[in-house]
Amino acid sequence: MADIRTALVTGATGDIGLAITKALIRDGFQHIALSGLEEDILQTMVADLSTESCSLVSFPVDLLNAEEADSLFTKVSEALGPIGALINNAGITKDNLILRMSDNDWNLVLKLNLEACFRLCRASARSFLAQRFGRIVNISSVVGFSGNPGQVNYCASKAGLVGMSKALALELGSRGITVNCVAPGFISSAMTRVLTDAVKEKLLSNVPLGRMGLPEEVADAVAFLVSTRASYITGTTLHVNGGLYLM
């Protein structure tokens, strides 16, 4: 079976994106393309994380731009050769109660979290089908399954990723391509660090393990799903939420 050790990680500049990159380096990937908006952070990651056995290349793009989203996978392939794994990690929130949510806030979240992922999956499918190998991991969320007040746009986008991934798993499986999701719960990251202690305490009261997850714990789930150890797993979601979804 093919084992192409080149990956594309979107949303690479965030805490989870950085942890995913480090996990792929640890697991023997030879080339990793990093995509994000903050070009300076991408360049720092390339300088700090590149090794003799793994080269990193930055691709600063705005995935809200359909043309840039459509062309990213091709640009990475032209620069690094055949890609074996696509990790769709880019995402944003624009929270508000539905009566106060604007069309713009709805559209921005769906456009980045779901539509950009669709565009990258479509572009990668052409290449993966030809090489008869590929790993796609889409980062969903626990709220895509449970719902969350004030996040109808975010919940819809993350639930949409799950349905899309299941359909793609059925379409692409016969060519050795797996498509899965990882659904984090409350993870210690820039997104959760802005919460007040009172809010954090309330959130953690619903987590059986009693703590927030670490970006590295999400990254380990992603690294597993893109590895040969997960070659018979497709169309599923690996939940990383400390038991939150059980509540």
Q: pLDDT by residue (tens digit) across 63-112? A: 999 999 999 999 999 999 999 999 999 999 999 999 999 999 999 999 99
- Say if CB 139 and CB 162 are below 8 A apart: no
User: 31-64 in b/e burial notation, b at 16+ Cβ within 10 A?
Assistant: bbbbbbeeeebbeebbeebeeeebbbbbbbbebb
Instruction: Assess whether 154 carries a catalytic annotation.
Output: yes
Cα separation, 237 vs 212, in Å, equals: 19
Q: Does the structure show a pLDDT above 70 at 1?
A: no
Nearest Cα neighbor of 244 from 205, 199, 198, 197 is 205
Cα within 13 Å of Cα(108), Cβ side: 11
Q: What is the pLDDT of residue 203?
A: 85
Domain 6-187+215-237 CATH (choose: 3.40.50.720, 3.30.9.10, 3.40.50.360, 2.102.10.10): 3.40.50.720
Domain ranges of the chain: 6-187+215-237
pLDDT tens-place string over residues 168-212: 999 999 999 999 999 999 999 877 787 788 888 888 999 999 999
The model's pTM is: 0.95
Task: With H, G, I as helix, E, B as strand and everything else as coil, classify residue 34.
Answer: strand
Cα separation, 132 vs 235, in Å, equals: 17
pLDDT tens-place string over residues 107-135: 999 999 999 999 999 999 999 999 999 99
- Say if CB 169 and CB 121 are below 8 A apart: no
Cα separation, 113 vs 18, in Å, equals: 18
The active-site residue, picked from 59, 73, 154, 186, is 154
Q: What is the pLDDT of residue 112?
A: 98
pLDDT tens-place string over residues 3-57: 899 999 999 999 999 999 999 999 999 999 999 999 999 999 999 999 999 999 9
Q: How does the average pLDDT of the chain come out, rounded? A: 95
